[in-house]
């Protein structure tokens, strides 16, 4: 409160008390006969002045109160709270609903690919980009398969590799929802020559692969080896891949180093020229020590007795060098698939004998 108004109020109150007291004393001192006399009293004039002063003070106090209230109202405007929708609580916003929906696990409903048809030359590869919807699907794992793996193969990542002239369909399926899938129509043109005999990709000194043939490790062969390795380990047999897929360029450098070391004639007995190596197919593996001594180890003996059960053969058997074109390699296995590998094993023949083909360089 403004100090001048407080002091004025106290002053007026004090004066009033003094005058009243004085008036009462004056009346008590007068003789009884004068009490009701018709005379003008000084105390009445004083009272009038007191009343006027009090009235002015009340007016000033009222004005000050209005001033205070006006200041308070301008400083903090009062806005009554209004409940959305009357007396009920506000409803959940659409944004909250969307966030909640995104946080909930969802099933795959559709698959989109960057292409649905492709034409490749044998030896070429191409991989479509896969998008699964909705975005918040809990499991976007992919399952890939080819309707004809001899025409075009596909690995677990969806990389399609053209193998031989023809057409097939490559299909990707949602692992979470098998009813959802997408397909790529694949057409393979001849391009550079790749040889299949009875469905078997053939690579030796007679039959070569083009420099651009670069499929990487064959996923089916890798899976078969993994199963074989696991079963061998259960029998305390430790087998592992020391050399798998090799590109055309890598093989060219490797072969040249052997030629520089031992001469061309000797190198041709144990190393393939670029384009003539089975390692370029992604279907051949060298195991463990890559040495003749491997045959006498428990691992070498186990592989010789059992690898056909997993789809592999010992590609270059003993005493077959004049037919295969390569010296004995007990560590080198080639994947053919379980049925064909079993048939070759039971025949006691090397692959060239089994297919009735040669293995000789043209020069």
Q: Which two tokens stand for residue 207?
A: 């039959």
Using DSSP's 3-state secondary structure scheme, residue 16 falls into helix
- Return the structure tokens found at 145: 């398969």
Tokens standing for residue 105: 């696990």
Angle CA 325–326–327, to nearest 5: 135
pLDDT in the model for residue 265: 95
Give pLDDT, residue 4.
Answer: 46
* Tokens 């969806």 belong to residue: 158
Tokens 């020391």 label which residue? 242
What is the C-alpha to C-alpha distance for residues 186 and 169, in angstroms, rounded to an integer? Answer: 6
Distance CA 81, CA 165 (A): 78
d(CA 182, CA 320): 47
- The confidence score (pLDDT) of residue 19 equals 42
Q: Is 183 exposed, middle or buried (0-12, 13-18, 19+ CB in 10 A)?
A: middle
* Rounded-to-integer distance, Cα 313 and Cα 305, Å: 10
Rounded Cα distance, 229 and 223, in Å? 10
Instruction: DSSP letter for 309, please.
Output: G
Q: Assess whether the previous peptide bond of 134 is cis (omega < 30° from 0).
A: yes
* Residues 196, 215: Cα–Cα separation, whole Å: 16
Any idea which residue has 């005999």 for tokens? 197
CA 87 remoteness from chain centre: 46
Residues 6+ apart with CB under 8 A from 164: 122, 150, 151, 188, 194, 196
Report the sign of the C-alpha dihedral through residues 311, 124, 246, 114, in that order: negative
358-361-362-363 Cα dihedral, nearest 10 degrees: -150
**Could you say which DSSP state residue 297 is in?**
S
Q: Which residues of the chain have pLDDT under 70?
A: 1-105, 191-192
Q: Is the dihedral of CA 275, 276, 280, 281 positive or negative?
A: positive
Six-digit token string for 240 = 């592992």
- Residues belonging to the active site: 329
- Give the ranges where 76-218 is alpha helix by DSSP (H): 94-103
CA 197 to mean position of chain CA atoms: 42
Q: Residues 213, 122: contact at Cβ < 8 Å? A: yes
pLDDT of residue 223: 97
Q: What is the pLDDT of residues 245-284, one digit of tens each?
A: 999 999 999 999 999 999 999 999 999 999 999 999 999 9
The residues pairing with 168 across neighbouring beta strands, listed in sequence order, are: 186
Pairing of strands 181-189, 117-121: parallel
Please provide residue 118's backbone torsions phi and psi, each rounded to the nearest 5 degrees: -155, 145
């Amino acid at each position: 409160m403004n100090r001048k108004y407080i002091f004025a109020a106290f002053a007026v109150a004090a004066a009033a008390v003094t005058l009243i007291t004085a008036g009462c004393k004056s009346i008590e001192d007068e003789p009884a006969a004068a009490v009701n006399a018709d005379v003008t009293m000084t105390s009445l004039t004083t009272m009038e002045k007191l009343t006027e002063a009090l009235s002015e003070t009340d007016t000033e106090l009222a004005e000050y109160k209005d001033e205070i209230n006006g200041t308070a109202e301008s400083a903090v405007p009062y806005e009554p709270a209004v409940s959305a929708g009357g007396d009920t609580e506000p409803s959940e916003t659409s944004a909250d609903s969307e966030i909640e929906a995104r946080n909930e696990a969802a099933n795959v409903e559709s698959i989109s690919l960057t292409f649905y048809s492709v034409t490749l030359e044998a030896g070429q590869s191409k991989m479509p980009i896969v998008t699964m919807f909705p975005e918040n699907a809990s499991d976007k794992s992919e399952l890939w398969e080819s309707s004809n793996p001899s025409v075009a193969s596909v690995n677990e990542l969806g990389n399609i590799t053209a193998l031989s002239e023809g057409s097939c369909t490559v299909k990707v399926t949602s692992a979470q929802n098998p009813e959802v899938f997408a397909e790529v129509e694949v057409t393979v043109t001849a391009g550079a020559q790749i040889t299949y005999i009875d469905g078997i990709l053939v690579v030796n000194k007679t039959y070569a692969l083009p420099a651009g043939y670069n499929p990487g490790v064959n996923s089916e062969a890798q899976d078969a080896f993994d199963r074989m390795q696991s079963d061998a380990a259960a029998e305390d047999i430790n087998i592992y891949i020391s050399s798998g897929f090799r590109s055309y360029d890598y093989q060219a450098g490797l072969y040249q180093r052997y030629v520089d070391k031992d001469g061309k004639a000797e190198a041709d007995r144990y190393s393939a020229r670029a384009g003539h190596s089975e390692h370029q197919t992604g279907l051949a593996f060298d195991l463990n020590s890559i040495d003749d001594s491997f045959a006498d180890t428990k691992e070498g003996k186990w592989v010789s007795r059992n690898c056909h059960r997993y789809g592999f053969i010992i590609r270059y058997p003993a005493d077959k060098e004049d037919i295969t074109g390569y010296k004995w390699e007990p560590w080198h296995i080639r994947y053919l698939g379980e049925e064909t590998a079993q048939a070759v094993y039971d025949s006691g023949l090397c692959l060239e004998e089994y297919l009735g083909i040669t293995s000789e360089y043209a020069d």
